[in-house]
Amino acid sequence: MIISLLEPNPGCLDVRDRLKKWFESSRFLLNRVNVRTGPIVPKRFKGGQIQILGVRLKKPKPYFGNGPFANNDPMKRRGWNRKADPVVAKLSFLEGLDWIEFNDELNNFCDHFFLRADIASARCVIRRGQLRRVRYESTQIMGHHNIWRVRSGPEGYICSCESPIVPFSTTNGEPSGFYKMLNRHA
């Protein structure tokens, strides 16, 4: 996941330190947070880039998959045999709703500090400037499985930097995972 700062102030190192502190009290663990500056960063990102690697849950939980329609019923999980393996694996990987909550928390961080940034993961665009993504949609691929759409339409983004109400994201499916519906930083 890359956070590309559109303005030089505050600097990348300051934003990185604030980001680490912001997530200390969350249920997410950021394994590595790297700063990228200099010639490897495109010129339009005047503040540099911050790369987040290895996002995990601090407390492992039953894992059912990361897809938009991964089922929370272990009986319907592909390849799971209740008689042969009655235990559901507890892992610290994020599932669909966990990722949406993490993305919302990143957006809350940017809104709180009035950061203009583009944020993108390998799967989707999370923020464009001051517009935070609030709608996550999935598409079925050739009748097989569902994947997250990389970009949402214009109705999928809103500006909430100066709003006292922090929006929560929505989705068109029933992704697995857990979304904690409370706002710690508003």
pLDDT at position 30 is 94
HSE (side-chain half, CA atoms, 13 Å) at 59? 4
Average pLDDT of 68-80? 49
**For the chain, which residues make up each domain, given as ranges?**
2-171
Three-state DSSP class for residue 35: strand
* pLDDT value for 121: 86
For β-strands 48-57 and 61-62, DSSP reports them as unpaired
Residue-level pLDDT at 61 = 83
Assess contact for 5 and 15: CB atoms under 8 A. yes
Task: State the pLDDT at residue 139.
Answer: 65
| pLDDT band with cut points at 50, 70 and 90 for residue 52 | very high
pTM: 0.76
Average predicted confidence (pLDDT) for the chain: 75
Q: What is the pLDDT of residues 110-167, one digit of tens each?
A: 988 989 999 998 878 889 888 888 887 766 666 555 556 555 666 666 676 666 566 6
Q: Which has more confidence, 6 or 41? A: 6
What are 13-34's pLDDT values in tens digits?
899 999 999 999 999 999 999 9
